[in-house]
Chain A
Amino acid sequence: MTGTAAPAFADPKHARHLLRQMLRVRRLEEKCVQLYSEAKIRGFLHVYIGEEAVATGVMATLQPEDAVLATYREHGHALLRGVAAGAILAEMYGHQEGCCRGRGGSMHLFDAATRFYGGNAIVAGGLPLAVGLALADKLAGRRRVTACFFGEGAVAEGEFHESLNLAALWQLPVLFCCENNLYAMGTALRRSESQTDIALKAAAYEIPAWAVDGMDVLAVEEAARRATDAVRAGGGPHFLELRTYRFRAHSMFDPERYRDKAEVAEWLERDPIDHLRSALEAAGQLRKKDWDAIQREVDAEVQAAVDFAEAGTPEPTDELTRFVYSERSAP
């Protein structure tokens, strides 16, 4: 590809990997929406379409021993963390093959094997937990990072402020990742915060904080790498404000009266997947057959996940009250 002005990627293989990761999230979410309309999935469903670069970029910098917490919009986080797509979908089917045996559903995915501490449907509910996980690591002398994702809506809650203060005061290894998609349900950031610069709030707690273009997966990864490295090296908590947008409604019940189509259309232009894909193509680092193969493989993964969920079974009803208390002794 001589004669092209497009800058080449230093590590095209890695860029293609990130592209594929984002596509896995996108296709899984699209499938969830379809399955919801077919009433296979019930309850509340919140999808991450449009925001894929955020979790993909951050998660690429984490190690298996690290911990992750997210919100009710967490299917993608679970998938990227290594939870099988089939176990995620089976959970939303309410089947015992699901990652939480069907007890949690879409908003409450957990997975001990990958240190994925949920899925939390209480806005800001995960932040204090992240502080505590990091405190445990610090007390035990382990060099691990706890990454905590939350929406910008959480910034208004007291738990946000209490958590940032504790993490900074005790210099705990937490990476706070604020997914600023500009809306908390129907409430625009500018209508809910007197100071809309979120990184500035973190800075007020003496936490190093940067705002990042959350539609650019490489920018996210680079910022996250800098932050995780610092956290792991004992540099205390760090904070990323990831500026992004949700392309779809808040949940499946949202008629979207609070934002106009033109604004959505503007952001659609910045689709993180299209963005990376065309940059790779322009640089001659993604051939049509590469892209076709990525799509084929991702579609096959999602289809296999659907098949797995469909083949699942409901847990026997007489097990209803299991797990209210532990069935194993403390390790």
Chain B
Amino acid sequence: MKTTYREATRAAMRDAMQRDDRVFLMGEDVGEYGGCFAVSLGLLEEFGPERIRDTPLSEAGFVGAGIGAALGGMRPIVEIMTVNFSLLALDQIMNNAATISHMSGGQFNVPIVIRMTTGAGRQLAAQHSHSLEGWYAHIPGLRILTPATLADARGMLWTALEDPDPVLIFEHGSLYNMAGDLDDDAGAVDIHAAAVRRPGADVSLITYGGTLQTVLDAADQLADEGIDAEVLDLRTLRPLDDAAILATVAKTHRAVVVDEGWRSGSISAEISARITEAAFFDLDAPVGRVCSAEVPTPYARHLELAAVPSAERVVAAARQAVGAHG
């Protein structure tokens, strides 16, 4: 079946609503407007305003209400338009969703799913473009998903809803129009394991979300130069699939981590540290990193492009990793 990332995400929500009447969707403009990125378009007509619930502009309020509804036995999907706006709800996510299970000594749990758009690339400037999923991955108590393929856009949501704890799903804004084929019977997928998207022998390119395609493009260019790159899609940033990371490094002995977040204190730093902690003697080169420039995302196209990871920078980093091997 031909589909898009947007449609696959919508199909996942429709499926969840049909399967479990505790599931409802809540967020700004998810109903009458049809979703700010048209992801929920048509769902209001299908499921009605009780279950496709438009909220006022009040992120702290409705995210917190979602947490409360989860405590109350529902299975809310809360949509936040853009990761930058999730900061207004950060208190609820961090101080409530992520802590209540632990603080209550395991008496309560918060089975909420929070979806939001992340990432740059659309010239939306410094209040709409950041990649903060790595930040969220810092927080114990949360599970962080970054679907990068149609199958994951379609399949991660249901598994996330079955999880007893809060799950955040980050959808890179540049992926919504991504088109391709999806099996007609595509359904739930695991949310634990990283996936090798391209096997290779010379260098491991480790990434997730919006930069997966950039990295696959870089791998094609590297192949032309005779460098056989393996591409690992992390899929889940918390908990990280350490086994998959170490397995690819054991195979290629070289790693480059590609992450649209800022380099300092990023998820790429965490991955690099884990590789050096656990596989130092497997490495034939220092772990490389390609991240966003440490600047609030600029509006001008050429500056924005210069700020985020590009295939050229990934290729250069991979070359360096390979070349560093005497």
A-side residues, CB < 8 A to B, are 42-44, 91, 94-95, 102-108, 120-125, 153-154, 156-159, 184-187, 191-193, 254-255, 257-258, 314-315, 317, 320-321, 324
Contact = CB atoms under 8 A, between A and B. Distances in A.
Nearest to A153: B57
A62 to B, nearest CB: 25
Contact of A103 (B32, B60, B124, B298): B298
A122 B127 contact: yes
Given A108-B127, A186-B34, A324 B294 contact: yes
Q: Which 7 A-B pairs have the closest CB atoms?
A: A186-B33, A105-B299, A94-B300, A156-B56, A102-B300, A192-B56, A43-B123
Contacts of B307: 320
Contacts of A125: 127
Contacts of B125: 43, 103-105, 107-108, 121
Nearest to A91: B299
B29 A187 contact: yes
Contacts of B29: 185-187
Interface string B113-142: 000000000111111100000000000000
B260 interface: no
25 contacts: A43-B123, A94-B300, A102-B299, A104-B125, A105-B299, A108-B125, A121-B124, A121-B125, A121-B127, A121-B128, A122-B84, A156-B56, A156-B58, A158-B58, A158-B60, A186-B34, A187-B33, A192-B55, A254-B33, A257-B34, A314-B302, A314-B303, A315-B303, A320-B298, A321-B293
A194 to B, nearest CB: 9
Residue among A186, A314, A324 with the most chain B CB within 10 A? A186
A105 B123 contact: yes
Contact of B57 (A120, A124, A324): A124
A103 B300 contact: yes
Given A103-B299, A108-B126, A314-B300, A321 B84 contact: no
B33 A157 contact: no
A35 to B, nearest CB: 14
B57 A192 contact: yes
Nearest to B304: A94
Contacts of A91: 299
Interface string B288-299: 000001111011
B201 interface: no
Given A108-B125, A324-B294, A324-B295, A258 B57 contact: no
A172 to B, nearest CB: 23
B127 A120 contact: yes
B32 A258 contact: yes
B61 interface: yes
B186 interface: no
B61 A185 contact: no
B301 interface: yes
B54 interface: yes
B28 interface: yes
Residue among A91, A123, A124, A254 with the most chain B CB within 10 A? A123
Given A107-B127, A187-B54, A187-B56, A158 B299 contact: no
A105 B300 CA distance: 7
B316 to A, nearest CB: 16
B132 to A, nearest CB: 14
A64 B94 CA distance: 43
Contact of A44 (B57, B84, B124, B301): B124
Nearest to A322: B295
B306 A320 contact: yes
A218 B126 CA distance: 37
A314 B299 CA distance: 11
Contacts of A94: 123, 299-303
Contacts of A42: 122-123, 301
A258 B303 contact: no
A157 B300 contact: no
B88 interface: yes
Contacts of A192: 54-57
Contact of A185 (B33, B60, B84, B123): B33
B228 to A, nearest CB: 32
B85 interface: yes
Residue among B34, B293, B298 with the most chain A CB within 10 A? B298
Nearest to B59: A157
B33 A102 contact: no
A320 B293 contact: yes
Nearest to B300: A94
A43 B54 contact: no
A187 B29 CA distance: 6
Contacts of A124: 57
Contacts of A184: 56-57
B58 to A, nearest CB: 5
B128 A44 contact: yes
Contacts of A254: 33
Given A95-B300, A104-B125, 19 more contacts: A42-B301, A43-B124, A94-B299, A107-B128, A108-B126, A121-B125, A121-B127, A121-B128, A122-B88, A153-B57, A156-B56, A184-B57, A185-B36, A186-B54, A187-B32, A192-B55, A317-B306, A320-B307, A324-B296
A42 B299 CA distance: 9
A105 B293 CA distance: 19
Nearest to A100: B299
B180 to A, nearest CB: 23
A123 B57 contact: yes
Residue among B56, B88, B294 with the most chain A CB within 10 A? B56
